[in-house]
Amino acid sequence: MKVLVIGKGGREHAIAWKVKESRLVKEVFIAPGNVGMEEIGKLVDISEENIDELATFAQNENIDLTIVGPESVLALGVVDEFEKRGLKIFGPTAAAARIESSKDFAKELMKKYNVPTGAYETFESLELAKSYVNQKGAPIVIKEDGLKAGKGVTVAFTKEEAIEALEIAFSIPNNKVVIEEYLDGFEFSIIALTNGERVIPLEVAQDHKRAYDNDEGPNTGGMGVYSPVGKIDSNVVNETLEKILKPMASGMKQDGIPFKGFLFGGIMLTKDGVKTIEFNARFGDPEAEGILPRMKSDFVKAILDLMDEKEVKLEWDERYTVAVVMASEDYPKSSTIGSEIEIPQNLESIVFHMGTRKVDGRLETNGGRVLSVVAYGNTLEEAKERAYLDVKKIKCKKMFFRNDIGSKMCYNNENK
């Protein structure tokens, strides 16, 4: 069969890499992809947001299955367009993708269907929002309502920080802000495959959102991830499934907006049990790079079986993975374009490209997050050590990385 992957980042590289492993797949197409994916399949020169042209390509090429990576494309209605043309595609409709494209919408659904989450209020006025912060105090969380690529969120530990975040948010015309309770606990990511009814959880991972070591600096799209997460045992996964993921899927179906695709929960394990930080409408990035290399099952078969309402059983590699993101020097404030990258041939790690390009045969930076370097290990420490050995062999004058991926919640001098 022929499979089309839509997107161009590290997540899509990992998805395409896993798709290519499938015994069912003869050809892989990636639109638009990046230079790191050239050995996996055929790059298609169509912008990921040109949904009409993508659907026409899929029709003309007789694509059997399309898998969508980016949230922005889902919000634009790529699934709606493909399904209108009778094309098989794995991802939520634009209406269902609102669980990510509108934080207020997601919170309303959680409230309606008793999905545990932090208390919140939504504001369209700076003065009312300031008044609420002054009333509630800090710590408190400020979230801009729309798609922000993992950014647009401020965990404010002082009222001054919160007010500053509000002023920035409301400097954008017609912006809406969700202010919510700060949840204290242990954060983890869980992604599930769902067809709108059945929910099949994948292995758990933990992302590192802050730009710098020791969870310092601004929020980013993710600076690295590890999987599995020792603190999150099967009981916690089952609690998350029964209290959060299944009720959300069931509620969305009940509301006439069934969710099909990768249902992503950012979850906090608190002293009162699991609570939802956020939902995303797609596979996480860099979670995809940490989780998919651990999947022993045929990824494409699992998706097709779920869509056809057949039984899905997933098998996993018991080894750990650590994925370290190498980012442009000023990320997330800005990105570096055109700085040369040298990747040795003898690396043990898998290198997924996030933001690269080739100019006159030279590999160069072309985005905020540039590479994701993924290593296996029989222990978390071994995976971490192997990943950093390879990260340090990659040469580029204008990239940086965190030194503590896999050390979250246990920072000390050894881990820096």
**What residue ranges do the domains of the chain occupy?**
2-91, 119-181, 186-307, 320-411
User: Which of the 8 DSSP states describes residue 36?
Assistant: G
**Residue 416 — very low, low, confident or very high, per pLDDT cuts 50/70/90?**
very low
pLDDT digits (tens, 9 = 90+) for 5-33: 999 999 999 999 999 999 999 999 999 99
Q: Which residue has the tokens 């269902």?
A: 96
Quick one: tokens of 156?
């404010």
**Residue 193: strand, helix, or coil:** strand
Q: Please name which of 72, 20, 18 lies closest in space to residue 41, comparing C-alpha atoms.
A: 20
Q: Are strands 216-219 and 399-400 parallel, antiparallel or unpaired?
A: unpaired
Query: What percent of the chain has pLDDT above 70?
Result: 97
**Residue 150 — very low, low, confident or very high, per pLDDT cuts 50/70/90?**
low
Q: Concatenate the DSSP letters of all residues of 79-97 into one string.
A: HHHHHHTT--EES--TTTT
For domain 119-181, which architecture applies?
Answer: 2-Layer Sandwich (3.30)
Q: What value does the mean pLDDT take over residues 172-194?
A: 94
For residue 252, what are the β-bridge partners?
none
d(CA 321, CA 293): 8
pLDDT at position 412, please?
33
pLDDT at position 407, please?
86
Interior angle at CA 223, CA 409 and CA 237, nearest 5: 55
Amino acid of residue 177: V
Kindly report which listed range (64-73, 135-144, 404-413) carries the lowest average pLDDT score: 404-413
- C-alpha dihedral sign at 354, 359, 365, 368: negative
pLDDT digits (tens, 9 = 90+) for 79-99: 999 999 999 999 999 999 999
pLDDT at position 411, please?
36
Question: For residue 304, which phi and psi values (nearest 5 degrees)?
Answer: -65, -45
pLDDT digits (tens, 9 = 90+) for 264-306: 999 999 999 999 999 999 999 999 999 999 999 999 999 999 9
Query: What percent of the chain has pLDDT above 90?
Result: 92
Please check the confidence at residue 58 and state whether its pLDDT lies above 90: yes
CATH number of 2-91: 3.30.450.20, 3.40.50.20, 3.40.50.1370, 3.30.9.10? 3.40.50.20
- Asked if domains 2-91 and 186-307 share a fold, the reply is no
**Residue 410 — very low, low, confident or very high, per pLDDT cuts 50/70/90?**
very low
73: left (phi over 0), alpha (psi -120 to 50) or beta: alpha
d(CA 388, CA 206): 17
Question: Is residue 168 a contact partner of residue 130, using CB atoms and an 8 Å limit?
Answer: no
pLDDT digits (tens, 9 = 90+) for 185-242: 999 999 999 999 999 999 999 999 999 999 999 889 999 999 999 999 999 999 999 9
pLDDT at position 152, please?
75
pLDDT digits (tens, 9 = 90+) for 33-46: 999 999 999 999 99
pLDDT at position 413, please?
30
Q: What value does the mean pLDDT take over residues 130-154?
A: 85
d(CA 316, CA 239): 20
Q: What is 186-307's CATH number?
A: 3.30.470.20
Kindly report which listed range (25-39, 49-63, 162-176, 192-206) carries the lowest average pLDDT score: 162-176
Question: Is residue 266 a contact partner of residue 277, using CB atoms and an 8 Å limit?
Answer: yes
For residue 189, what are the β-bridge partners?
205, 266
Assigned CATH topology for domain 320-411: Glycinamide Ribonucleotide Synthetase; Chain A, domain 4 (3.90.600)
Question: For residue 138, which phi and psi values (nearest 5 degrees)?
Answer: -125, 160
**Residue 289 CA neighbour count, 13 Å, CB half:** 28
Q: Please name which of 173, 240, 164, 171 lies closest in space to residue 202, comparing C-alpha atoms.
A: 240
Q: What value does the mean pLDDT take over residues 170-188?
A: 93
Query: Which H or E run contains 325?
Result: strand 320-328
Quick one: tokens of 213?
């070591």
